[in-house]
Amino acid sequence: MKISKEWNKVGTNPKIKELIGPEAFFAWISNRDNALSLYNMGDVSGRWIEKVVEENEGDSVNESTNQNIKGKDIVRQGVDGEIKTTSTICNFTDDGLKHKSCHLQIGALMSKKGPKGTKKDIIIVDAVNFRRFEIPHDDFYYGDFQLGEVKAATRSGKEDLNFRWYADYDSEKYYLNGDYRSPSKSNNTKLILNYEKKNK
């Protein structure tokens, strides 16, 4: 017997549906200011960017209507891809600007790490400067650049990671004494610049 994957709604309250259902959303988003405020939410623009990349470059329609697919966001010519987006400048403060230490970051990367030889690209989309980078799995996790000195953090009992690079893409930032301001951010900035996609 085939089981239907379509959920039959139970106990629907028409007033709640009228307030937050699809038709209410379509009406709300048709206002440009509302649409822009929604786009400016990092989670929303990030999911939209993933969908655009998948639709334009993927081998097939996404495997699920839910974008949280274990292990991959896109498959292109048999190679998996993990799409990471960032839309917020971190340390965008007077002090950060003074010391030129504003940065961008992506996270949740350790769960994407496979054994050496894994065919997967780490696709990074900078939605602040509108730039894109594609780093082969082994170069990202095992290559000479291999995440520099970025420290792993613990979240929900799992090892996680924030990958940070300079928002102005200037990898050569020094203190007055000649030391790198941040070896890991300098390292990571050099890494992604080496894999910038100019044509997509």
The residue with greater pLDDT, 33 or 109, is: 33
* Domain span at 130: 14-193
**101 inside domain:** yes
Q: How far apart are CA 107 and CA 151, in angstroms?
A: 11
- pLDDT tier, 179 (very low <50, low <70, confident <90, very high otherwise): low
**3 inside domain:** no
**4 inside domain:** no
Of the chain, the percentage scoring pLDDT greater than 70 comes to 80
- Mean pLDDT value across residues 87-91: 91
Strands 79-86 and 120-126: parallel
Q: How far apart are CA 165 and CA 184, in angstroms?
A: 8
**2 inside domain:** no
**9 inside domain:** no
**7 inside domain:** no
State pLDDT tens for residues 119-173.
888 899 999 999 999 988 888 887 755 444 443 333 334 445 688 899 999 988 7
Domain count, the chain: 1
The residue with greater pLDDT, 99 or 36, is: 36
**H helices, E strands: number in the chain:** 7, 8
Burial class (CB in 10 A: 0-12, 13-18, 19+), 115: exposed
**5 inside domain:** no
Mean pLDDT of the chain: 80
State pLDDT tens for residues 10-22.
999 999 999 999 9
**199 inside domain:** no
pLDDT for res 166: 92
In the predicted structure, residue 104 carries a pLDDT above the cut 80: yes
In the predicted structure, residue 63 carries a pLDDT above the cut 80: no
